Amino acid sequence: MRISVVICAYTMDRWNTLVAAVRSCGEQTLKPDEIIVVIDYNEELRARATQEFKGVCVVANQSTKGVSGARNTGVAASTGEIIAFLDDDAYAEADWLEQLTLPMTNPKVAGVGGWILPHWPDSPPTWFPETFYWILGCSYAGLPETNFPIRNPIGASMAIHRRVFASVGGFTEGIGRIGVTPLGCEETELCIRYTAAFPDEHFVMARDAIVHQWVPVSRLTWHYFWTRCWAEGLSKAAVSFLVGSDFGLAAERQHLVRSLPREFAQNLGMLFVHPRSAASRLALIVVGTTCAAAGLVWGRVAVRQTPIAFSSRDLTQLTNALRGEGGPLPPVLR
């Protein structure tokens, strides 16, 4: 199967990590048929990427600003039957793409999520709870084993079959990260939308498909921790508004009931051995859960007052283009 890799970038501040991401894609044991770098409304970055990335397709985001619109632009520009996504601040191990696409030989697998390890600026912080590694964009304690079903992959490392986009459209614009705003869940909503339409298909985990996520020092603060939890609650409120709470919060309920109590109990047992680090992890578990719940409640109130509006026209045109219907893409998605 033909494979495309899409990397979205928006800032010159991540130039070095973007270079590492592109290089890692070119060094795969399973070579991608094309690497597409989508530049999200940054002409300086687009010009430099065009000049320096040889053999790479560099395109400007022609859709709504933000990661959702940029990914939709990448999907529209791609030709692969499988579209893999890698973040601009992550780099892949050599067999990442091979391991990531291996489960997709099963026709019932619509997409796959890889395993994302944090690349710390120094030594790993002992005070950070592993059940909250999702705050860093990384895989976290409580995720299933390889080949087990997941609701959705994490956007930093995922592969999605082209038929997903051809069937239900692209990533919803109106949720998802824009610049440094720490919102997300656009991949969550897409995967729920697809599996609701095609319940016989599913997404799975591939723990051997490893990427490394750069973790800046700015993310290793209590302020970033609680604001990111709050933003996640807001994002989940948006997803729940679009797909319903049963689908939108199913994985979170399971995480709250199983994984968080397990790590909380483990750290209680470590209080007398490593009191400072264990106490910090316990406090963060409580603070993070509370902030996420508060963000969810606040977000639900907000979306009732101002319902989320996204361009169904753009999603429909993207769908038709991927199916080969309706002529070329309109300017907003071309």
* pLDDT for 65 beyond 60: yes
* Segment 238-248, tens digit of pLDDT: 777 766 666 65
Query: What rounded mean pLDDT belongs to the chain?
Result: 87
111 pLDDT band, cuts 50/70/90, is very high
182 pLDDT band, cuts 50/70/90, is low
Length of the chain: 334
The mean pLDDT value for 221-226 works out to 92
Q: Which residues pair with 82 in a beta bridge?
A: 3, 161
* Segment 78-89, tens digit of pLDDT: 999 999 999 999
* pLDDT score of 306: 64
The mean pLDDT value for 280-291 works out to 95
For the ranges 155-169, 223-237, 318-332, the one whose mean pLDDT is highest? 155-169
Phi-psi region of 99 (alpha: psi -120 to 50; beta: other; left: phi over 0): alpha
* pLDDT for 5 beyond 90: yes
Euclidean distance between the first and the last CA atom of the chain, given in angstroms as a whole number: 24
If one counts every other C-beta atom within 10 angstroms of the C-beta of residue 154, the result is 25
Convert 201-231 to b/e letters by CB count within 10 Å (16 or more is b). Answer: bbbbbbbebbbbbbbeeebbeeebbbebbbb
52 close to 18: Cβ distance less than 8 angstroms: no
Domains of the chain: 3-218+308-323 (3.90.550.10)
Q: Which residues pair with 84 in a beta bridge?
A: 5, 159
Residue of 189 and 101 predicted with greater confidence: 101
* pLDDT for 319 beyond 90: no
54 close to 95: Cβ distance less than 8 angstroms: no
Specify the range with the lowest mean pLDDT, choosing from 32-36, 63-67, 80-84.
63-67
